[in-house]
Amino acid sequence: MANELKPNIFSVGAIDWDRRLFDELIPLPDGTSYNSYLIKGSEKTALLDAVDPTKTHVLLDNLVKAGTQKIDYIVAHHAEQDHSGAIPEVLLLYPDAKVVTNAKCKSMLMDLLHIDEGKFITIEDGGKLSLGDKTLQFVFIPWVHWPETLATYIPEDKILFPCDFFGSHLATSSLFVDNEPAVLQAAKRYYAEIMMPFRAAIKNNLKKIAELKIEMIAPSHGPVYPKPQLIIDAYKDWASDDVKNEVVVAYVSMHGSVRTMVEHFVIALSERGIKVKQFNLTGVDIGELAMALVDAATVVIGAPTTLVGAHPSAAYAAMLTNALRPKARFASIIGSFGWSGKMVEQLTGLMGNLKVEILEPVISKGMPKDEDYVALDNLADKIAAKHKETGLI
Ligand code: FEO
């Protein structure tokens, strides 16, 4: 069958071609999917995750089309509603099914979806559940990106179901990855927006799954990886401590002073052999900005002073960067003011989570003058020297 990953393992989830925003925050230029998998063992049947509540009808239709007479277990890998939201409806259609998950996820599902406690089977890390000729082996993978997340491994088929981990927001009618660069781009965007703050946990979880013999990874968003090393290697790179010879310059300009400074500064960096990714924060796709932050050694925020503080768009970028906690080593601020203000203190205060060395900011009074251009050149020199010390140039 077209939706069969391995013998008696079926994809029964939903593709959301039209969704353009997740969490009312994250842009989804390519839509997404909520993957759900039906595992038919010789004795028992399990459903791994459900779908977003808006797509419940698709999941239920797919279960009926797959001739599903009964479901014994609904494995909930993650309590977030894009995977768990349809579980109550599945339980109505298959009232004998038990929800299988860990204690933390169970508690969250009771809070979020009001599922009755009697419906749960609670499992431990490394626990197993037999479906007859297939075994569900549970691997806890906390903090990708919630604390309760777990994965299921089926040793007979050497397939890992890691939920959000390794996922991509990508709507496609292809069950398997058929365009590796496009999927890796979507997966990097997903990593940047959702996984990056949890780099340390991700490294631990990568070590944990390295103990398994994995021939296929079936995440809960985006296509299935028939060559799992592709995404495992990409995650190792993204989550590593290695930075690249890149500077992210994210700026906003009201009357041209900051834009003029950014234009000069970006050329100065390029002339020193540094790759620059420049973002005008007005109307920026924050997914693109987040992706650039995955690798960059240095982040520079450009902001005018507005009502004695940083322009709100620059404050938002600083706050977002702080929340995403990229591995950047250096940061600075360039900007302008008219008469007074505390823009620099405000922006550096908003980036307190970052383990960066703050390089001397360059702030111009009004349109930049000769001494401001010299200061921008000096900042570019300083960044080049720091990148050189770090072995990037
Ligand atoms: Fe796809 Fe964290 O939910």
79 vs 340: which has the higher pLDDT? 79
pLDDT tens digits for 52-66?
Answer: 999 999 999 999 999
- Summarize the confidence of residues 231-256 as an average pLDDT: 98
236 confidence band (pLDDT: 50, 70, 90) = very high
| CATH, domain 247-388, list 3.30.2310.20, 3.40.50.360, 1.10.260.40, 1.10.10.10 | 3.40.50.360
pLDDT category at 382 given cuts 50, 70, 90 is very high
Q: Tokens for 161?
A: 């179901």
SS3 355: coil
83 lines ligand 1 (CB under 6 A): yes
pLDDT of residue 341: 87
pLDDT digits (tens, 9 = 90+) for 336-369: 999 988 999 999 999 999 999 999 999 999 999 9
233 burial level (CB within 10 Å; 0-12, 13-18, 19+) = exposed
Q: Which residues pair with 100 in a beta bridge?
A: 75, 121
CATH no. of 3-239: 3.60.15.10
| Ligand 1 centroid to residue 384 C-alpha, Å | 39
Alpha carbon of 21 to ligand 1 centroid (Å): 13
CA distance 267 to 182: 30
Residue 82 CB less than 6 A away from ligand 1: yes
Distance between CA 10 and CA 375 in Å, rounded? 61
Q: Is the CB of 277 under 6 A from ligand 1?
A: no
For residues 351 and 329, give the distance between their C-alpha atoms in angstroms, rounded to a whole number: 13
What number is the average pLDDT over the span 89-105? 98
Sequence ranges of the chain with CATH classification 3.40.50.360: 247-388
pLDDT of 1 over the 70 cut: no
Predicted confidence (pLDDT) per residue in 154-203, tens digit: 999 999 999 999 999 999 999 999 999 999 999 999 999 999 999 999 99
- The single-letter DSSP state of residue 240 is S
Cβ 77 under 6 angstroms from ligand 1: no
pLDDT digits (tens, 9 = 90+) for 19-36: 999 999 999 999 999 999
Q: Which atom of ligand 1 is nearest to the CA of 221?
A: 1
Pairing of strands 98-101, 120-122: parallel
Amino acid (one-letter) located at 69: Q
Task: Report pLDDT digits (tens) over 109-142.
Answer: 999 999 999 999 999 999 999 999 999 999 999 9
Q: Which residues of the chain form CATH 3.60.15.10?
A: 3-239
- Compute the mean pLDDT over every residue in the chain, rounded to the nearest whole number: 97
Contact 221, 190 (CB under 8 A): yes
Q: How far is the CA of 229 from the centre of ligand 1 (A)?
A: 22
Q: State whether residue 48 is helix, strand or coil.
A: strand
Strands (E), 35-85: 37-40, 45-48, 73-75
What pLDDT was estimated at residue 54? 98
Query: Is the Cα torsion angle 81, 84, 90, 96 positive or negative in sign?
Result: negative
What is the percent of the chain where pLDDT is above 90? Answer: 98
**Is residue 333 predicted with pLDDT exceeding 90?**
yes
Handedness of CA 313, 319, 323, 328 (dihedral sign): positive
Please give the Cα distance from 321 to 327 (Å, whole number).
10
For 366: left if phi > 0, alpha if psi spans -120 to 50, otherwise beta; the answer is left
Among protein residues, the one with the nearest Cα to ligand 1's atom 2 is 80
Reported confidence tier of residue 2, pLDDT bands at 50, 70, 90: confident
- Whether the ω angle into residue 145 lies within 30 degrees of 0, i.e. cis, is yes
